[in-house]
Structures are given as structure tokens and as C-alpha cells.
Structure 1
């Protein structure tokens, strides 16, 4: 998305007294959403049937579930409605309860109901003081799910080394977009703005005057949109690995290339120290040469990996999915995968590792639940997309020399938006406010690069930032990562429990895998 866009802030409507208290502007009569904000949640078991494994997990954790009714289109609050599914774990210390804390893992569009028990397990002190709320954002999970019946599990493909390869992926993107024509009524209303309004209806339906929040990755943008639309209703907000708010929409992945390359180089240094085990190269430069040699081999002829084929469109995706976790086990898993791919590039018959088998199966199988098409719908609804397909190719070509491996992937990651059968219902939200928030992240994050995190910090002028220096991970708080940082979690707990932000932006030390 271009940084210079015309912005129009459309404020939510709601009860007049609540609006006056919050400072939010209303866009219609003060009674428009009253019937939804005052709805009673009918809490029930989460399991909906014998095959509902997620519901069974939620029940086993002691959660209760509900469906909140919200407008499809907030400009027509009396029109069609949809359901948003939520889970709740009530505060374990009700005498010291201070409110509701909603968790969003990002995606965009990752279902979030399971994150209530995950946060309780990761942070019992927060579970004692807050009702933990998990939410499946609109059109995902149990929330009026959207499914375009895509023949692949998700749209993650590199556009390859030349125009012929690019045209092949562009044709695939056009086909995927065409498969969403039947969802045309829903598509314009999949944006973060609509989901933020859903969050406020949930807040009101829960009887909470304010909402606290923990969001990761794309969830940081969703949280920032809520803060912009409902500044007086945002209580304590924590944003983990913040997205640059000015790149949200179809172009959000474009800045990733250099950060991914830096994370790959960091991993390559780790692998070089273990050349005797993985045989990928005895220096950082030689390991990177091996990676590029695999890429060239996949471009010449798809690599045979068991029952799968890895071509020039898929190999960079394998790296993208793996980078962003920098623990010892994560690095070892990527090295084992690349050892298999390197052997295949040399013509050997290979058997995929478990992680490689699972990843390739997902990428090559038809989507089962609409998760991929829903994520694309959210991305395309968050901002305008260029319909000039050639401009995408020219952008890739302009960065071919400095981003040879990742540019053809990240600079066209959301190419289906160029063919999308619907336009966003609203312009993007301009994030500029002084609402307090805690922003946390890693300086080497390959998926929400650090300059974008700093941009979020500047846009939220009342915030403070805690940076994990020397870390090449995406997501740093205990609930979202298997390698949490105690320094970060102390800052998160101090803010959510005591309301104390750091006096100034500060740093924590990352522990590199060596």
C-alpha cells in the first residue's frame, strides 16, 4: 500500500453516554448499536460436536464460549448481521479482577479462541486478574466463516526468476481471486476497521467500560485501529512485533525482504558452526551459497522431496515460514530441512523431515476451512491495491539485485488483491494518537521489520517501546513464542497488572542460538 493515501476516519456509533466518556466520535444516531451492545451472551460449552477438537480443548481448559451478533456493514447497523465467536476464562482471583483482556495472535485472520487458555498457561498472574477473551475475527474459525474453496492451502508463492515465472503466478492469483466472487457481499467488510468495531461490541456485550488487549503481529495493527477509533475505551494495550501502520493492506509484506535476508544470514552463521553435522558450509558465506544453489536448482527443475515437488515458487516460502524463530531447536529444524533440500538439489533420493512434510502438505493441499482465502480477504479489505499487474513485476525487477531471493516473494505476496472482485468498504485508518500502549519487539524481526515497529511507536505517541536487541525472532511475549524473554515479560506484566509503562523506551538482551 502506498504511504501517501487519502484517509477518512469514520468513527463508530454507540450509546451517547459511552461516547461522551470515551471521546470517540459517532457517525450516526446514538441508538444505532444499542440493541447489539446490550445483547446478552449465552455462554455455553465450546464443543459443538464430536469432531470439534478445538472446542474440546477449550472445554477441558474450563473456558466457556459464546457468539456475539454484529453488523456485517457498520454503515447499515440495522442490516444483515453476522456472528463473532469468542471464548472466555474468568479471572481466577475475582476479588482482584480488573477487567477483560482480549488476545489476538495476528495472521491476519488467525482464529484466536484457543489463546485464552494459552495465555492462562503462559501467564497465571494475568489470568488471576483478567477475564481472558479469545476471538475468532470475522470470517475466520467459527465467526461466520468464509471459504472460497481454494485449491491450495494458502497463497504463499514466490514469483520466480523471470517474467515467464511471474506470469504463471499472476495467472494463479487471478484464478484464486475469481473463486471468491461468490463471497462478494462479505469481502468489502473484512477489514481491521470492521473487526475493531466488533471488538467494541464485544466489550459492551460483556458489560465492560474499557477493554485491555494483547495483540501480536497483524494483531498490533488491529489493536492500533481500535485505539484510534475508541481512544477512551482502550485500557491497557500491549502490541507485540508491531506492523508499520502505514503499510497495512496489500503492501504490508513489501518491506520484509532485507530483514528476512538478515535473519537468514544470522541462521547461516549458526549452521556454519555445525558444518560437520549438516554439511551446508563451513562459513556463513558458504552456507548462503548453498541456499542460493538450492534455489537455482529448484528453478531449473523441481526438487523431488518424497511425494512432493519443490520448485522456484515454493523454496523461498519454506525459508519465510521458518525464519522468525531463533531458538536452538528452531535453527536445527531449518538446518535439517535444508540438508534434505541440498541433497535433493544434488540429485539424491531423499525423505522429507517431519516439519518439511507437514509444510509441503499444507502448501500443496486444497484449503479445508477457508483460512487462506479469509486471510487474503482481510488483507485486500485493509487498503487499496494496484490493478496494474505489470507494476508488481517492475517493482520486483527494480529490487532483483538487492533482494534476489525474497523480493520476488514479498513484493508480490498479496498479488490476488490486484484481481480482487470487491473493493474495500472504507479507506484505511490513519494511526495517530497519544493513547498509552506498550510496544514490544525484536530488533532483527524478519516479518515485521524493526523500522516498521519504530513507525508504530511514532504513530502512538503515548506509547513506550521495549526492544530485544540481538534477537531475530518474530513475537517476543510468552504467550506467542516458545522462546520468551524474561525481561520483556516483566515489562508486560508490570503494565498489565500495575499500569506502569517504562519511563522511556528501553532494551532487553536477546540470547542468540550459538
Structure 2
């Protein structure tokens, strides 16, 4: 009798589940069946390339699809050979918060004519981003991802500022902010698929875009076609633990850069040895903590100076640009009148003033995807533990963010465990998504293959760093669906 009762209960639950699935499909029917009206993008580069743009309406909250809606902007570059067209390929260049409308043009440059001929390339500004309906927390500074300082005074200042950033978002956006998450963006992708009349989606994602792609394969495995994930995030560590792993990786990259710079002391005058160059950088941060460094019209303190280094260490080809940047900072710290280079000027403005709507959605997604510790002392202790081994980046990698003061996520973190085929590309010295993260995603997606670009410091490969081995693997997979027979190791050209 117990077995019969258990069976009946299981059947009742199953029936309820099926009924709920059918009801959900019915609720989304008006979104799946909407007409997509393509028009000029109103951008010279996109229009000249033949790209067309449109807006798709999606539920703000998929748990209440009959409620409020929001809009998502998309772009399309049609397959070059309609007779051979096999479907659509969406792309996401990273972030979260990055615009993807232009991804069609960017990644197309690394694709073979065969791939370009057979796919409609679809760009997307994820919900909250760019031409999609935006969120804007009205922040007085740029993004929330900066160093929490070098001492207790700086840390306490960071705590107050991050709490204020979270409060501003809550005050301005209210409960709407809770629905700008990766899971909902993945659901938006499926609405786009249906509205375009497609059965499945092929996809190229870079950096954060790999997490979005992995979540999509978990939520919609039967809608996933050929998936490429470049510079991958371990979904079990997203996002706070991913940032934590960036500390050691960037300290190692800084050592590599310091050795390169020391060999060019006559040009940059930052030190004759790796140790001297690194010491110069650390002194600059300590000085900025006491008295912010004035460079051009900006004051640079210990919270943001490490981030100016961090942004350049992603690519070894930027070593010279980073050395020139540090030379400018050193001159400014010595009281010299320094006119920042156009590149440095743009980055200072972007980081310290920023685009509030872009940084707002980045915070909303990161904080809304996964909960983090709420006690500031947890971060303070982690920073102190990291100080000896991570003197430059420990305050960033272990620092507090607005997520510690954010409302609790409305859904749990997505657990990715599936057998959807995918191609994962990872460099061994990636400073943003460590090599171990790519290997972890390879394990989580059991039918995937990992392409390792060995002994290269680079974040993002396809379309950014020419490499014949990687490009062949990616283009072969997109062209005919063939994954490498086993994990593959590539070398720098």
C-alpha cells in the first residue's frame, strides 16, 4: 500500500509538472509568436555591412509572463548564401553589461566564408543593456568592481561606498532590478529563437558570455545546436569565486610584465630588475592611498589604480602600453604636470565617471545571479590573508562589492551538468578566467571538448588573437559540427 501511495503521489506530481510546463508554454505563446520587424540600425558601421536591427518584447519576470514586459534589441547579418543556410548563431562578447549588437561584425572577421555563408549572425543587447530597455542606478562613480584598499581606513571607505551603490539601485529601480539575471537573459534567447521561427540556436560566447551560454544549454538543452565558449567561467564558481581566482593570476601576469619592462629600463625608467619594477608599482599604490595622484583632471586613489593595471594585463601585446601608462602615473606622483594619453584619458573617464547604465546592469546581473557573504568582516579577513601573496590585486580579488548589500537573488544559482556538445577555448595564462575554470566547465559539460592555447597570456582568443589552430577548431565545428576527437592543445603562432 505504501508503494502504491508513493506511485500515485509521484504520478500526481508528474502530471502537475507537465500541466505547469504546458501552462508556461501557453503563457509565452504571445512572445514566441510576435512579429519581428527588421529596420535600419541607424549606425553607419552596421548599416554599411548590411546588418538590420529589431526589438523583441520579453517578460520582465518569467514567473509572471502576463505581467510587466521589457525589450531586447537584436541585430541580424543574413547568411551570405541563403541556399545553404542552416540556422542562426547568437553571440555575446562578455560583461555582464556588454553590448552585443556589434558582435556580428567583430567575430565575423575570424570566421571562414563557409561559416558566414550558412548562418544568420544574431547580435543581442541583453536585457538592461545598450539599446534594450535600460536600467540606470544613477551611480556617482563607475563600476563596483574595484579594490577595497590597502588598510582598514580604505576598506571601511569601500564598505560605505558599496552600501551606498546598492541603496541607490534599490531606490531608483525598486523590485524591477531583481529580474536582470543570466537565467532571464537565457530565457530571452529562447524567446528570440522562437520569434525568429528557429528550432535551435548556435552560439558563440566569450568571457561572461560563456556562463550565459552554459546556462542556456542547461535550461534549454534541446534548443542548443553548436556552442562555442571562449575563455570560460566555471559555473560552480561564478561570480565571486571567479573574481577571487583573478588575484593570483594577475600577480603572476604583473611579474611577467615587470620582467619585460625591466629589460627596457632606458625607455621606461621604472627599474632595472623585475623586483624593482614591481616595487615601484606597489609604492605608487601606497602613495595613492595617502594622497590621491592627480593626472589630468582626475584624482586616482588606491581603489582604482590597481584596476588600471588589471585592464592591461589581459593581453601580453599590451605590455608596452602598460609600461607607458605606469610611467605617466609615476611622473604624476612626483608632482609633474601630466597630460594623460588619449587611451588613459578615456579609461579614467570610463572608470571614474563611467556609463551608469552599463555598470548598473553589470551589478544587477552579478548580484542577482548568486548570493555572497553579507558580513564585511569576511572580506576584510580575506584581504588581510591575501596581502603577502597578492600585494597589488588582493584588495580587488577579495574585496567587498555592492552585492553584499543587494537583495537576495530570486532564483538559486544555476547548476550546470549536461551532455550538450560544446567547444571550449582557454589560454593557460588567462588573467580574467583562469585556466582551471575552463577545465571545470569541460567536466561540467561532459560532451564538450577543450582547446587549450598553451603558454599564452590572453583573455578571449577567437576574433582577438589570430591563431590558426584555434580558428580551425572553431570554424570546423561551426561549419560541419565536428568536434575534436579529444581535447586539443594549440601553441602560439
Tell me whether the two structures share a fold, i.e. TM-score over 0.5: yes
Conserved? CA contact 2:55–2:73, under 8 Å = yes
Aligned residue number for residue 292 of structure 1: 282
- Whole-Å Cα distance in 2 between the matches of residues 423 and 118 of structure 1? 36
Using the alignment, how far apart are the partners of 2:356 and 2:281 within structure 1? 33
Contact 2:90 2:204 in 1 (8 A): yes
Residue number in structure 2 paired with 1:137: 126
- Of residues 457, 476, 483 in structure 2, which corresponds to 1:494? 476
- Larger deviation: 237-246 or 338-347? 338-347
Write the distance in 2 (CA, Å) between the matches of 1:238 and 1:498. 13
Match of 2:29 among 34, 53, 62: 34
- How far the C-alpha of 1:369 sits from its partner, in A, is 5.1
Structure 1, 313-322 or 208-217: larger mean CA deviation: 313-322
Task: Please tell me whether residue 419 in structure 1 is matched to residue 414 in structure 2.
Answer: no
Match of 1:95 in 2: 83
Deviates more, 1:174-183 or 1:116-125: 116-125
Distance in 2, Cα, partners of 1:187 & 1:251: 23
Following TM superposition, by how much is the alpha carbon of 1:349 offset from its aligned partner in structure 2, in angstroms?
A: 3.1
Answering whether residue 453 of structure 2 is matched by residue 471 of structure 1, we say: no
Deviations 1:385-418 (A, max 9, x none): 22212211111112222212101112126x1011
Aligned to 2:313: 323
The answer to whether the Cα contact below 8 Å between 1:119 and 1:127 also exists between their aligned partners in 2 is: no
Give secondary structure in 2 for the equivalent of 1:180. helix
Q: Deviation of residue 300 (structure 1)?
A: 2.6
SS of 1:434's equivalent? coil
Partners in 1 of 2:22 and 2:481 — Cα distance?
31
How many pairs were matched up? 474
Counterpart-to-counterpart distance in 1, 2:22 and 2:429: 41
Question: Partner of 1:151 in structure 2?
Answer: 140
The gaps in structure 1 that reach 5 residues or longer are: 1-18, 48-54
- The residue number in structure 2 matching 1:395 is 382
Q: Which digits, 9 at most, give the CA deviation of each residue in 1:205-240, with x for residues without a partner?
A: 111111000000000000000000111110000000
Contact 1:241 1:476 (8 Å CA) reproduced: yes
Alignment of 1:244-393 (within 5 A): 244-327=234-317, 330-365=318-353, 367-368=354-355, 370-393=357-380
d(CA) in 2 for partners of 1:188 and 1:70? Answer: 15
Q: Which has the larger radius of gyration?
A: 2
Distance change >3 Å, CA 105–CA 178, structure 1 → 2: same
Which residue pairs with 1:459 in the alignment? 444
Is the 2:110–2:471 contact (alpha carbons within 8 Å) kept by the matching residues of 1? no
Rounded Cα–Cα distance in structure 1 between residues aligned with 2:97 and 2:53? 19
Aligned pair in 2 of structure 1 residues 41, 369: CA closer, same or farther (>3 Å)? farther
| The structure with more helix, counted as a fraction of residues | 2
The alignment partner of 2:412 has SS state of coil
**TM, length-normalised to structure 2:** 0.93
Residue deviations 1:296-353 (CA, integer Å, cap 9, x gap): 22223222212222211111010111110122xx111111001111223334332222
State the partner residue of 2:10.
none
State whether residues 282 and 391 of structure 2, in contact with CA within 8 Å, keep that contact through their aligned partners in structure 1.
no
Checking the alignment, whether the CA contact within 8 Å between 1:249 and 1:384 is kept in structure 2 is no
**Aligned match of 1:65:** 53
Task: Tell me, in whole angstroms, the C-alpha distance in 2 between the residues paired with 1:69 and 1:187.
Answer: 17
Note if contact 1:333-1:355 (Cα within 8 Å) is conserved in structure 2: no
**Does 1:409 find its partner at 2:387?**
no
Runs ≥4 residues deviating over 6 A: none
Query: RMSD between aligned alpha carbons?
Result: 1.8
Provide the C-alpha distance between the structure 2 equivalents of 1:40 and 1:254, rounded to a whole number of angstroms. Answer: 44
- In structure 1, distance between residues paired with 2:100 and 2:138: 22
